[in-house]
Each structure stands twice: as C-alpha cells, then as structure tokens.
A and B are shown apart, each in its own frame.
Chain A
Amino acid sequence: MSTTVISRKKLVVIGAGMASGRLLEQLFEAAPGAYDVTLFNAEPRGNYNRLMLSPVLSGEKTYEQIVTHDDTWYTAHHVDCRFAEPVTRIDRKNRVVYSNSGGAPYDALVIATGSAPFIIPVPGKDLPGVVTYRDLEDTQAMMDTAGKDAVVIGGGLLGLEAAAGMAARGARVTVIHLMGHLMERQLDPAAGYLLQKDLEKRGITVHCKGATKAILGNDRVEAVLLEDGTVYPADLVCMAVGIRPEVRLANDAHLEVERGIVVDDALRTSDPHVFALGECVEHRGQVFGLVAPLYDQAKVLAKTLLDQPAVFAPVQTATKLKVTGCDLYSAGDFADAPGREDIVFRDPGRGIYKRLVLEDNRIIGVVMYGDTNDGAWFHGLMKDATDIGPMRDTLIFGPAFQGGAAPDPMAAVAVLPPEAEICGCNGVSKGTIMDAVAGGACTLDAVRACTKASASCGSCTGLVQQVMALTLGGAVADAPAGMCKCTDHSHEDVRRLIRSMGLKSIPAVMQELGWKSVGGCHSCRPALNYYLLAEYPLDYQDDRQSRFVNERNHANIQKDGTYSVVPRMWGGVTTPAELRAIADAAEKYDVPMVKVTGGQRIDLLGVRKEDLPHMWADLNAAGMVSGAAYSKGLRTVKTCVGKEFCRVGTQDSTGLGIRLEKLMWGSWTPHKLKLGVSGCPRNCAEATCKDIGVVCVDSGYNIVIGGAAGMEVRETEHLASTPSEDEAIRIILAVTQLYRENARYLDRIWKWMGKVGLDWIRAQVVDDLENRRALVERFEISQSVYRRDPWADLSTPSETPKWAPLADLTLEAAE
C-alpha cells in the first residue's frame, strides 16, 4: 500500500464581494478541496450582500442579516482569510500576490476588486463628511444623520436609495441630479416625474438639472454650492454619481485593461493564470453593474477553474428600485427612435404609469411605476421576443387579461410559463421554484436556501411567495409572512430559532426574537406555548395563561359561557358502571343535554364552570379521565368491533384502538388529532377520513394518514402496511412525533403533508428504522410528562376554589 500526497493547487482571490463570494460557493460545491484558497479583502470583513446596504441604511435590516458568509463558513472550507489587508502588488512572473504583510503564491489568481465610486472633481470633495455609498463604513456614516441636513449628489439608483434611507432615519435630504429627471438611464421622463413626486411626498427635496460647483466648509462639510448659485446646507454629502471598474492592481500588473479588466468568454485575462470577474471586468466591450450577470460569471469561472468548458454570455436584466413605497420596474431600451411604438397606460389618481416600447410587434422596453406586478411577464415576452400582435389590444393590462382570465391576484403568476424568470438577481425561473416546493421546500427560507430565489436584493420576494402559494395549492399563501402582527418571523423561523438559540420560555422567545408587542397576542401565544412544550418536554413549564380557554379549563366553552364535559372512553368502549357514573353526574349537576359524539364518546353539555372540578372528581372516582375533547392533541380513537364479534372482521381493531389511545392520550399536537381503526376494508370506523387511520386486512394493517372530514373533506393516503400490530403502533407513534416536531401550529396532518410531502414522511418513519426508533423514543419522553389526567390535577381541594368567583358582592349587599 502506498500513500500519495497531492499538494493542492493554490487559489488567491482579491476582493470579497458578491461575485467572488458566489464563485467560492460554486467552487466548493462542485469540487471541495480542489484548491487551497486565500481571500484578500481591503474591507475588514468577509462577503456580505452589498445590495442590502439600503435596507441596513433605512433600518429594515441589520448588518448581521446581510452577511452571506460568516467565519464558520470560511473555516469549514479552509479559506485563509486576509481581511483588512489590501493587496499592494501582483508579481505575475513569480505568481505571488503581495500585501503589506507579505506574499501569497498562487497557481491561479482571481481579481474581483469590484468598482470604485466616481468622485466628481470639485473643490471640497475631500472634506470630512463627504462619503460615497459603497461599503458598510459609508452606510454607518449615513445612518447617523437623524435631524441633520444631508445632500445626495446623483439621482440614480444608488443615490435615491441613499436618500430614501437617510430620510427614513430622520435626515432632511436633498437630491441633486445633473439630468432633467431622476434615473434617466432606467426611466422615461413620465416615470421619473412620478418617482420625484413620491420622494417629495416623503420630505425629500429633489433638484434636477443641478450641477455641483463646490462643496463648502472649513474643517468639515457645511454646504453644497450649485452652478446656478443655489446653496444647500449639508452635514453630510453622499456622492453617488456612478462607479467605474477598480482596475488599478491590474493596470500595475500590466494586464490588458480597457474600461475594465479585459476577459474572454471563460473569464480569463490576458495572463492565462489570472482570471477576473465582477464589476471590475470588461467582456466584449461591456462592463457590468447589476448582480445577475456577476452571478453568471461566478458560475462560469468556477467551471473554468476546474478545467471544465464554460462560456459567459450576458443576458438582459431588469432593474428594480429598492425603496419601500416607490414601486418601479424598468428593463430594456426605451429611447425614442424611428420605427418604435409605445403603449402607455396612466392612472394619475393612483400614481400608476406603464409604458411598453414596441418594435416589429415585439417588446423591447418596459417602464412601470406604481404597479409593477406584471414586470416579470413583460420581461419574459421581451426576452423571448414573443410576437405580441394577437394580444396587443389588451397587452398593457397584463397577463390576467389575456384570454379573459378571472381577475385573481395570483393570475399574473399563474400564467407565467415554467421558464419565466422570477428572481432576476440569481436567474431563478418559476419552474425551479416549483420544483423546490414540490421537493419539500415549503417556507420562503427553504426556497431561498435551495434555489437562491429572492436571496439577493429581495425585491422579488412577493413573487416567489406567490409561486409557492400556487404550487402549494393556495392554502398557505401567507405561510412565509410573520406568524402574527407581533413578529415578522414566520412560524417556521420561530420554531427553528427556538431550537437553535435554545429558547425555553415565552418571554425569552419574545425578547430574543424582538417581539413588537408587549405580551404577544391570542394568536402567537398558544403557538409559542406549543412549540416550547414540544421542543422541551422535560424543561418547559406549560403556560396555562397562554392557552385558549378550552385547553386552560379542560372543557369546551359553549356560546353561553357554560362548558361541555366529555370523559374518555378508550376506543369507544364503555361499561355499565361508567354509564351509571355519567348518568349520576348528569343529574347531580343539572346537565341540560347528554349527547353522543361522532368520536364515540358521551358529551355532557351546559356545565357551569364552578361545577367542573366537582364533576371531574365524581367521574375520576368512577375510573374515568378527561376525554380531551377540547384539545389540540389526541382526541379519540374510533373503532369498530373487529374480529372479536364481527363476522367479517380481520383483526382485533377494538383492541388496537384501545392500545393506541392508552399510549397516546394526553399528548399535545399542532392541531387536533383523531384516529380511527377499522377491522376490515368495509371501514365502519371511517378510518379513511381521520388524521391517522388503520384499515385491517387479513394480512395485517394498512396505515393511512392525512384524512379530513371538516371544512375540508379528504381521503387519507396510504403510508405503510405491516403484518405486525406492534410495528403498526410504532409507525403511528413515529408519524405522530414527526408531526409534533415539524408541523406548523394549527396545521392538521393533511395540511402538513401537503407541505412536506408523503414521500418525505414515509422515508422518515417507514424506511428509516433508526429514525423511527428515535421518534418513538422522543414521543415516549414527552408522554412521560404529559400522559396524565388534568381533571385529577385540577379537582384537588387547593385548586377547586379557583373555579368559583373570586368574590360575591351580591351577598354583601344582602347582608
């Protein structure tokens, strides 16, 4: 046996921006360990989502939330991080990159130096208080402008995001723009006007056709002087007039540089060992500022570095302004030219403007303001050069109006073909998102994690959610939204954070996850209580005050404030003695109605609250416990008589039902859990519309799940078959625990199953025996706490008085 030591190739990357971050991801994913990577960055930090600086500035996000790669990630991939270490020189001959602390040799070098903000050469440009909008330091300076005067020079995409962000922070902001209207590269004058009006509404002053003459100030910036003599006071000036590729290192190294570092289709520079990507490159005469083509470059370069053939071919991308409340969309070319036609729609009252630029019956440009929902659809038609002739009359109204479709808010997304691009930043199509959802990604986070859709600028989040809702059947259209008005975290997020942060009480969750209300609300508190008790059965102290009245009082409240009492009858089987005790209790407490329920129990309706503990004590004395007919937990196991009596019964369905109920009673679940066991396929226990059902056959037990017979009526689906009653029980306990651990609060099994898929459930509890065993074990741990009768706990002499009024002032009056 011989050991070969392969020394890995050395890859040096200059610049930790979005493009290089994506490149490293692609590289590590395709071929982990192919390179030893050294990553230089002039900024004292690693890769973060630069597009998200605007939400950080406006306070909608924190820096931590926009970090794309953290220390753990770099460590896991053995990246030698050289942050706050600007590269000073590239020695191409010896293949070494130098910073002030020494050299780093390379086999392959990637230059990803990005771009540098353009500084207009006016007097005062170097005064303290003049910033650009490029990195976190700039952002922090701008965050500190509340109550101060800020001037933004440049009314383009970046400048306006800076202006809106500072305005949101409470600054008095003026935007100075050289051209006649804002964002003239992306917008026509009409849309530019609407945008200006919206910005002015939020207190931002806009000065178009304004040329900056000088920035005034002694020790620091004090004002901005324009050519026309106007002076705007300024405590901070943000120059956002444009960017240019950062090519200084490449120039010094005598690489071929035009406007940017010249690269071929494989992203190789004029030196075969040196590559470049991102905003610093020039490819076929074109430089790049939007993120989508940069991500494409990252994909291509990862392949090039692994000696796989790949070609970079830039595609047209659309622009969206990330200013909350200013909804604009622009793509393509919309300059006036011979042979071009316009379709324009205006709704001045609502501030909506849409313009399509046509050439030869094909869309070549789209500008929309105020209502941008159809942007992706128009963009798709444009990219595919679709002949719009047949729908020209109604084209401007969007996809919902083609072919007379109903005006459904989802319609626009529903009609998109699978290849339609939803996320422009990451080039994610509708089909990719649908596939991800079908594969079990049922939260926005999950979709982001596996497709990157809406993971960069986030402006397509709404669209992604709509595609998810369509794929999931509409029932969970709002699933990714916050769990209630108290928090923006979704149920799934909260549950994940409870787990990962080890939060063990409701106040801890509210504090650590930044609840916006004082004590939560009637919607989130019961959910949190459930998530905590399911996560920490041994540690968590159930919070009775966070439970809905029925679970707090262990009885069902009725419309007149009285309660109904249902004792448990295991598997629907009772005895004459139990029936006598029930009859006695009904008479003793003047129960107005005694009724048989659909779950094979007896319901005593109309009991006064103060009588509850006494009645419970009486029923306890006869050997009965709470039927939990009120709980988001195990309700009933309905059975037929089975082979013990029935001439066609195949198994002891009654016995199995009783065994199941004795194991599972007392357990809390995300929603109510009803079981049924039928002794033969004639299915007298109606097991095929229960949450979990068993249909016995000669050869054993068919376990079915996901039925419903309420507002939704659904037939169960087949989960597993087994010849063994014991195994049937283990599978049922395991699937119950899986449901307890994963489903969102108030989702029945069928709803949960729709999100995660039956195949996934089956893989967890049927195929993976080890996992099944672990699930059953965790169920048992939880049951060691919760398999007890609340009636017995609450009908003690110390508890009973609490069910009566605190005081009776009518008696005092009588006295």
Chain B
Amino acid sequence: MTIFVDIGPLDAIPRQGARVVKTGQGCVAVFRTMDDQVFALEDRCPHKGGPLSEGIVHGTLVTCPLHNWVFDMNSGAAQGADEGHVRTYPAKLQGGRILLDATLIRARSAA
C-alpha cells in the first residue's frame, strides 16, 4: 500500500499549471488540471531533459517547453510520433491537500 505525504494545499498550484517538489529521487512535477486532478511526474523530459513542470497543460496532457514533446500524465507515455516514457508517481487530493507518494522522500538507492 502506498503511503502518502502531504506536500501542500491544492491552491498552491494554478489550474493548468505545475509546481516542483524536490525529492530524494530528483525533481518531481506536480500538476493540477483544469478539473482539479493532480498528477506527479518526473520533472525531466526523456528527450533532452526539459522541465515538464514548465510545460503547457492541456486536458491530462503536458507539452515539454523545450521541443514540444507531449506526455499523457496518466501513463507518462509520449504521444504521437515521439517515443519515450516519463516516470509517474502516485499522487492524490484529500481535503484540499495534495498528497504524494512518501517513498519519494528516500533516495532511489534505498528503494
């Protein structure tokens, strides 16, 4: 069972936007969609390392700001002709607070 850690209020992230959370496994982008779903993805595009947290969010997709690769935030899969995957992490909303997979606190080597 996933253990969650509270990282902040939903209002801290603009709709169709993202904020970065520093973790033991690198930066994680936490997204908020137009309809207040939250997603957590590794903040690093597999193409050239672009920060996905700065991408334009549309539906449950995010476009990398460097070269317009598009990822589905549900699966982390690149869309269209591009091939690649971004790691996704469990995230959820509870009582207006964003909860993130607590294992992210630990460094990857510990996992």
A557 within 8 A of partner (CB): yes
Q: Is the CB of B58 within 8 A of A805?
A: no
Contact of A557 among B33, B60, B66 (CB under 8 A): B66
Q: Is the CB of B58 within 8 A of A517?
A: yes
Sampled A-B contacts (27; CB under 8 Å): A518-B59, A519-B34, A519-B58, A521-B56, A522-B58, A544-B14, A545-B14, A546-B56, A549-B65, A557-B54, A561-B51, A802-B12, A805-B19, A805-B22, A806-B7, A806-B8, A806-B13, A807-B7, A807-B8, A807-B21, A807-B22, A807-B100, A809-B22, A809-B24, A810-B105, A813-B105, A813-B107
How many A-B pairs fall under 8 Å by CB? 97
Binding site for A on B (CB under 8 A): 5, 7-8, 12-17, 19-24, 27, 30, 33-34, 48-51, 54-61, 63, 65-66, 68, 70, 100, 104-107
With a cutoff of 8 Å between Cβ atoms, the chain A residues found around residue B21 in the complex are 805-809
With a cutoff of 8 Å between Cβ atoms, the chain B residues found around residue A812 in the complex are 5, 105
A98 within 8 A of partner (CB): no
With a cutoff of 8 Å between Cβ atoms, the chain A residues found around residue B5 in the complex are 809, 812
Binding site for B on A (CB under 8 A): 517-522, 525-526, 544-549, 552-553, 557, 559-561, 802, 805-810, 812-813
**A521-B63, A812-B5, A813-B24 are known contacts. Are A545 and B105 too (CB-CB below 8 A)?**
no
Complex CA gap A561/B45 in Å reads 11
Complex CA gap A391/B102 in Å reads 76
With a cutoff of 8 Å between Cβ atoms, the chain A residues found around residue B51 in the complex are 557, 561
Q: With A517-B58, A519-B59, A545-B16 given, can you name 12 additional A-B contacts, CB distance below 8 Å?
A: A519-B16, A548-B65, A553-B54, A560-B49, A561-B50, A805-B19, A806-B19, A808-B21, A809-B23, A810-B22, A812-B105, A813-B106
Complex CA gap A519/B62 in Å reads 11
Nearest opposing residue in chain B for A519, CB measure: B58
Q: Is the CB of B22 within 8 A of A522?
A: no
Nearest opposing residue in chain A for B27, CB measure: A805
Q: Is the CB of A809 within 8 A of B56?
A: no
* A511: min CB distance to chain B, Å: 13
Please give me the 9 A-B residue pairs with the lowest Cβ-Cβ distance, nearest first. A518-B59, A806-B19, A522-B63, A549-B65, A545-B16, A807-B7, A519-B58, A549-B54, A522-B56
With a cutoff of 8 Å between Cβ atoms, the chain B residues found around residue A521 in the complex are 56, 58, 61, 63, 70
Q: Is the CB of B59 within 8 A of A808?
A: no
With a cutoff of 8 Å between Cβ atoms, the chain A residues found around residue B19 in the complex are 802, 805-806
Complex CA gap A397/B93 in Å reads 63
Complex CA gap A807/B60 in Å reads 23
Complex CA gap A273/B21 in Å reads 85
Nearest opposing residue in chain B for A518, CB measure: B59
With a cutoff of 8 Å between Cβ atoms, the chain A residues found around residue B27 in the complex are 805
Q: Is the CB of B7 within 8 A of A545?
A: no
With a cutoff of 8 Å between Cβ atoms, the chain B residues found around residue A520 in the complex are 58
Q: Is the CB of B7 within 8 A of A809?
A: yes
Q: Is the CB of B56 within 8 A of A518?
A: no
**A522-B70, A548-B65 are known contacts. Are A805 and B57 too (CB-CB below 8 A)?**
no
